[in-house]
């Protein structure tokens, strides 16, 4: 069994895609399902049967360990832990605690943490700090951190600061990150944050529709220079 997890869901999903492609080149029948949609009886039947044209099987289960807990999820984990005839890959869209991982001691674990550069960059986002913003942005580009991931993290950060403007109670975060976001939000007016959010929305539309012909890197750099 292989477990792919971590806060950098983009990286872990890239790894999952690579593994699936490798398996398919070996004529392995890959069956992908979300844990919340699995029927236990059907799963048992699939595990007990041969693959297409007698090929081997690989079961890819998404968000079993970090999804909503239920009796079925516990039973599903028991079934998968006992399986030895087929390949099992568990993909989680967030990090798993060591306590949960201890329940599956024989699994091969691959963890994908978010680069510390991302957090340093997000903390630098405030008016009159263009030099540090662009420096952090350049470092992330040098590390080949995907601009799509950077974009999603910026959108999240701006959303959180907008919420913070209504009061800390609107932030569904732990106390420490709540304090950091609330402090960062003080550098902005609500109107400024809403303007940035609107610009990000326009960037998303341009990228999806292909309007303008500019790369995401160019569009993000343009926004950073206006913060």
* 42-90: pLDDT as tens digits: 888 777 765 555 568 899 999 988 876 666 778 888 888 887 778 899 9
Residue intervals in the chain for CATH 3.40.50.300: 2-111
Average pLDDT, rounded, for the chain: 87
| Under 8 Å between Cβ of 107 and 1 | yes
Q: Edge-to-edge, what's the strand order for the sheet holding 2-5?
A: 29-34, 57-62, 87-91, 2-5, 108-111
Residue intervals in the chain for CATH 1.20.272.10: 116-224
Instruction: Give ∠ CA 23-47-105 in degrees, rounded to 5.
Output: 75
Residue 9 has pLDDT above 80, yes or no: yes
- Sign of torsion over alpha carbons 199, 200, 205, 211: positive
Which pLDDT band, with edges at 50, 70 and 90, does 187 fall under? very high
| Under 8 Å between Cβ of 206 and 214 | yes
- Report the pLDDT averaged over residues 3-17: 91
pLDDT of amino acid 102: 86
Is CATH 3.40.50.300 the classification given to domain 2-111? Answer: yes
pLDDT of amino acid 215: 87
pLDDT of amino acid 90: 93
pLDDT of amino acid 146: 86
So what CATH class is 116-224? Answer: mainly alpha
94-149 pLDDT per residue, tens:
898 888 888 888 889 999 988 889 999 999 999 999 999 999 999 998 888 888 88
Of 113, 72, 94, 92, which Cα lies nearest the Cα of 2?
Answer: 92
**Packing angle, helices 130-142 and 147-164, rounded to 10:** 140
| pTM of structure | 0.69
Measured CA to CA, the distance from residue 178 to residue 166 in angstroms comes to: 13
pLDDT of amino acid 50: 58
| Under 8 Å between Cβ of 101 and 109 | yes
Return the percentage of the chain with pLDDT > 90, whole number. Answer: 41
Ramachandran area for residue 27 (φ above 0: left; ψ -120 to 50: alpha; else beta) = left
């Amino acid at each position: 069994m292989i477990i792919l997890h971590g806060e950098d869901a983009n990286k872990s999903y890239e790894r999952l895609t690579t593994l699936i492609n490798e398996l398919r080149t070996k004529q392995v029948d890959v069956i992908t399902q979300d844990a919340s949609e699995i029927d236990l009886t059907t799963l048992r039947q699939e595990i007990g049967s041969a693959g297409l044209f007698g090929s081997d099987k690989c079961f890819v289960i998404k968000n079993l360990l970090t999804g909503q807990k239920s009796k079925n999820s516990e039973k599903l984990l028991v079934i998968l832990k006992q399986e030895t005839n087929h390949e099992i890959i568990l993909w989680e869209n967030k990090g798993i605690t060591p306590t949960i991982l201890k329940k599956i001691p024989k699994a091969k674990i691959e963890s994908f943490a978010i680069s510390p550069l991302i957090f340093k960059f997000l903390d630098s986002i405030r008016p009159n700090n263009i030099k540090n913003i662009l420096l952090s942005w350049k470092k992330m580009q040098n590390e080949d951190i995907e601009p799509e991931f950077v974009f999603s993290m910026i959108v999240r950060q701006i959303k959180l600061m907008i919420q913070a403007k209504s009061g800390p109670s609107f932030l569904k975060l732990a106390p420490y990150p709540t304090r950091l976001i609330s402090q960062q939000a003080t550098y902005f007016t609500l109107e400024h944050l809403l303007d940035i959010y609107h610009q990000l929305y326009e960037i998303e539309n341009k990228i999806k529709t292909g309007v303008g012909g500019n790369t995401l890197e160019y569009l993000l750099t343009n926004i950073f220079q206006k913060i």
